[in-house]
Amino acid sequence: MFYLDNLTINNFRNYSNQQLEFYPNLNVIIGDNAQGKTNLIESIYYISVTRSFRTKRDYELIKWNEPFFFLKGRFTRDNLYYDIQVSYEKASQLKILINKNQINRYDHLQYFPVVAFSPDDLLIIREGPAIRRRFINLFASRLSLRYFQDLKDYQRVLMQRNFILKEKRRDSNIRGLLEPWNQALISLGSSIVLFRSELTKQLAAEVRTFSDNMTSSHERLRLEYRSTISGAENLADIENDFRYKLPELFDQEIRRGATLIGPHLDDLKIYINDFDTRHYSSQGQKRTAALALRIGEVNLFRRQCGFAPIILLDDVFSEFDSARQEFLFLFLKKYDGQSFITTSADINFLTEKVSKDLKKIYIQHGSVVDEKSRAFD
């Protein structure tokens, strides 16, 4: 079993100095609005993957008017200990130590699998394709460093190619200038499309199962990777289609000054009972779909690494009816790994009903407080 044993938080968001110990199973973080529940989830996520799910800018994580933040925690996996220290000082590199060995931030992506659901995940359902591409890119990058590398290279090639299309459009040799970039675009782009479409298939099966269980099969959730390139079954077919379509777009690309085909324009379509979730779903359905995507991630991570990842669920209960709340609570209770959920509501009725065997952590003004000092209990 894999879990976070303890955590020390120093100058992270609204926490000054806090030490915490966790259960290997279910941990419930309780507190009023703006007390530090999400910040705590964020710190757990950060020490696991060395990035936040809320911001790209590490300096935002430093407590106001402080020079640095520091996180220290111990992960346990099959009786092995991993003591992690992460420290960040403004304008300098992030420093990461695992059992006293310094390591690189990106190598860190795969060590400690954790999956977070946050209310912002509703945007994955509600907004345009860019956010769904980001979702799949991040997920795929955590599963495969090769994908991560291909994606970085693809983005560089895309920038160069767009630069030529925009700035050199009157150059008589523009086709010659584009040629090497076309090759790179096709080869990297095709690998990305293939990886994404295979990942989507696997994810779709997991998502479907979770959503069937949560909604007693009333809401059939379906995922589909929609690409600007067809033949998404094997690499050669994708490359051929890409190579065939790219020259046809040449005139348009010159006019628009941009690359008009490739994985940077693709989408992950999400349907409930064959209706596009983006346009035709209720709040609760969107939340169910977003949560199902995350649980899908959990199961694919588990398959890859052979143990259950840590699940972090921030504010997941609001807008779920009592049946869905209870299902989710039971799901976490039965989960064979560690999980954390936050809530501002009184969920005693759920914890009493489902199980008393869980840890409750009460948060007030960036500190853990005693249950008794809480007003509403």
Which chain residues interact with Mg ion by CB under 5 A?
37-38
Count of residues interacting with ligand ATP (CB under 6 A) = 16
Q: Closest by alpha carbon to 138, among 161, 165, 102, 113?
A: 113
Distance, CA of 107 to chain centre: 17
Q: How far is CA 319 from CA 172, 288, 376, in A?
A: 59, 10, 21
Rounded to the nearest 10 degrees, what angle do helices 174-214 and 322-334 cross at?
Answer: 100
| Residues constituting the chain | 377
Q: Smallest distance from the beta carbon of 120 to Mg ion, in angstroms?
A: 10
* Choice between 297 and 314, CB closer to ligand ATP: 314
Strand order of the β-sheet with 15-21 is: 15-21, 2-12, 68-77, 80-89, 95-98, 101-102
* Choice between 30 and 311, CB closer to ligand ATP: 30
Q: Smallest distance from the beta carbon of 45 to Mg ion, in angstroms?
A: 13
Q: Does 14 bind ligand ATP (CB under 6 A)?
A: yes
Q: Smallest distance from the beta carbon of 108 to ligand ATP, in angstroms?
A: 22
Q: Smallest distance from the beta carbon of 96 to ligand ATP, in angstroms?
A: 20
Let me know how many helices (H) and strands (E) the chain has, helices first.
11, 15
* Choice between 116 and 165, CB closer to Mg ion: 116
* Choice between 10 and 141, CB closer to ligand ATP: 10
* Choice between 30 and 193, CB closer to ligand ATP: 30
64 binds, among ligand ATP, Mg ion, none (CB under 5 to 8 A by kind): ligand ATP
13 binds, among Mg ion, ligand ATP, none (CB under 5 to 8 A by kind): ligand ATP
Q: Smallest distance from the beta carbon of 147 to Mg ion, in angstroms?
A: 31
d(C-alpha 178, C-alpha 181), whole Å: 5
Q: Smallest distance from the beta carbon of 12 to ligand ATP, in angstroms?
A: 8
Stretch that binds ligand ATP, among 58-66, 167-175, 298-306, 367-375 (CB under 6 A): 58-66
| 100 CB burial (10 A radius; 0-12, 13-18, 19+) | exposed
d(C-alpha 357, C-alpha 308), whole Å: 19
Ramachandran quadrant class, 11 (left: phi over 0; alpha: psi -120 to 50; beta: rest): left
Spell out, one character per residue from 27 to 56, where the chain touches ligand ATP: x when CB under 6 A holds, - when not: ----x-xxxxxxx-----------------
* Choice between 62 and 194, CB closer to ligand ATP: 62
Spell out, one character per residue from 323 to 362, where the chain touches ligand ATP: x when CB under 6 A holds, - when not: ---------------------x------------------
Write the CB contacts of 172 (distance below 8 Å, at least 6 apart in sequence): none
Q: Does 287 bind ligand ATP (CB under 6 A)?
A: no
Is 47 in contact with 61 (CB distance < 8 Å)?
Answer: no
Q: What are phi and psi of 242, to 5 degrees?
A: -60, -45
| Site residues (vs ligand ATP, CB under 6 A) | 13-14, 31, 33-39, 60, 62-64, 315, 344
